[in-house]
Amino acid sequence: MDSSSGEPSSRIFHHTGFRAYVTAQTCSSLSFQIISLAVSWQLYSMTHSAFMLGMIGLMQFVPSVLLALPAGHLADQYNRKSLILGGQSVEFLAAIGLILMSFLMPGSAVLLLSLVFIFSLARAFEGPSMTSLLPALLPASVLSKGMATNQVFREAMVIAGPMAGGLLYVVSPALAYGTAAVCYLISLLVMMRLKYQHEPLKPLPMTLRNLFAGLDFIVKRKDVLGVISLDLFAVLLGGVTALLPVFAHDVLHTGAWGLGALRAAPSVGALVTGIWVSRNSFHRHTGLIMFGCVAGFGVATVVFALSHNVVLSLLALVALGGFDMVSMVIRGAMVQLDTPDAMRGRVNAVNSIFINTSNQLGEFETGVLASAIGAVPASVIGGVGTLVVVGLWMVMFPQLRRRQQLSHSEMTENV
C-alpha cells in the first residue's frame, strides 16, 4: 500500500454524491441495527422461544436469496437511485408498522415476523442498486478509499446501533422503532438530493438467461471468480461468530459482559483498520495483500480457538476484524472495477447470494461440527481450513496472486 499517491482520503468527501451516499448508508445502517436488536428482544419477550428467534433469521434469509437475481436485473435496467428510494420507502413504512404494532398489537409474534419479512424484502430489493451505485460516484483511483470509508461508518453503526437500540428499548419499543423510522426518513431525504446521472440502456426482458448473466460473467472472468469464491469458502470455513456464547461461557468463563465484548471486538478491529485503509491506496502487490489478509483471518481464528485468556481472545478477534476489513475492501473494489457498469447489478446480486449463503451455512457448519467434536477443535479446523483455501486459491488463480493494482485499467496505465 502507498499513502503518498492518489487522492487524499479527506478529499473524497468533496464529491457531493459520495457524501450523500455515505450519509444515507450510515443512517439506514443505524436504523437496521436498532430494529434488529429491538425486534429480537421483543419477540423473545413475547415467546421465550429460541426457535422464534431463528425465524427472524429465516425471514431475512429467504428474501435475500429469492429476490437477489431479479433485483440485480432491475439495477442494471433502471435508475438505481429510484430503486434505492423505493426500497427505503418500504423500510420506512415497515418501521412505522412496528411502531403501530407496539401500541395496538404488542403481543402478536406473527405480525412482528410479517413486518420483518416485508422489511427484508425491501432490503433485498434495494441491495444490488445500492452496491452498484458507489462506483458511479467516485473516480476509480479512489474507489477503495471510498469503500473503506463507507465501511468504517457502517462498522461504527454495528457497534453503536445495538447499544442505542438497547437504551431506547428500555424506555419503550415504540421509541426504538420511532428513532429507526426517523433515521430512515433522513436517509430518504438525503438520497433524494444525491446527484446521479442514469444512462438508460436497451431494455432486456427478465429471462433466465438475463437473470443468470451475472453468474455467467463471474465464471468467465477468472479474477472475479477467484475473488468471490475465495470469500465464499473462507467465510464458510473460518467463521466463529456463532460459537462466541460457547467460548464466553465454557472456555473463557466470563459472563454476559464478556460475550458483549467478544461480539464487539471484530467490529472494533474493522473500524480501526478501515480508518487506516481509507487514508491509503493499493498500488503494489494487491493480490498478495488480499491473500495475506485472508490467511491472517485464518491464523487469528486459530489463535482465538486455542486461547484461554480473555485479553488474548479479544486481541485475536480485533485482528480477525482488521484482516477481514482489508481483504473485504480489496475484494469488493476488484469486483466493482472488473465489472462493466451495465453488469454491476447482476454481478453484485450473485455476490450477495454467495455472501449471505456462506454466512448462514458457515454458522450452521460450525455449529454442527462443534456439537460433534467441541467448539475448540471445530474452530481450529475452520481456521486451518481457511489457510488451506488460501494456498489452493493462490495456485488455482495465479493471475490473481500476481495482480498489482485493484483495476485492470490501472495496470494498463502503469505499464
Q: What is the DSSP string of 249-263?
A: IIIS---HHHHHHHH
How distant, in Å, are the alpha carbons of 27, 86, 87, 326 from that of 121? Answer: 19, 11, 8, 30
**214, 71 contact by CB (below 8 A):** no
Residues 273-300 have pLDDT tens digits of: 988 887 777 777 888 999 999 999 999 9
Q: In this model, does residue 130 exceed pLDDT 60?
A: yes
pLDDT of residue 50: 60
User: What's the whole-number mean pLDDT along residues 388-399?
Assistant: 92
Q: In this model, does residue 197 exceed pLDDT 70?
A: yes
201 — pLDDT class (breaks 50, 70, 90): low
**348, 66 contact by CB (below 8 A):** no
pLDDT of residue 121: 93
Residues 6+ positions from 364 with CB-CB distance below 8 Å: none
Report the predicted TM-score, pTM, of the whole model to 2 decimal places. 0.75
User: What's the whole-number mean pLDDT along residues 13-18?
Assistant: 86
User: What's the whole-number mean pLDDT along residues 378-392?
Assistant: 91
* Short-list 71, 152, 132, 198, CA closest to 335: 132
How distant, in Å, are the alpha carbons of 127, 165, 196, 238 from that of 75? Answer: 9, 32, 14, 32
**217, 224 contact by CB (below 8 A):** yes
Residue type present at position 369: L
Residue type present at position 80: R
* Short-list 143, 123, 104, 118, CA closest to 18: 143
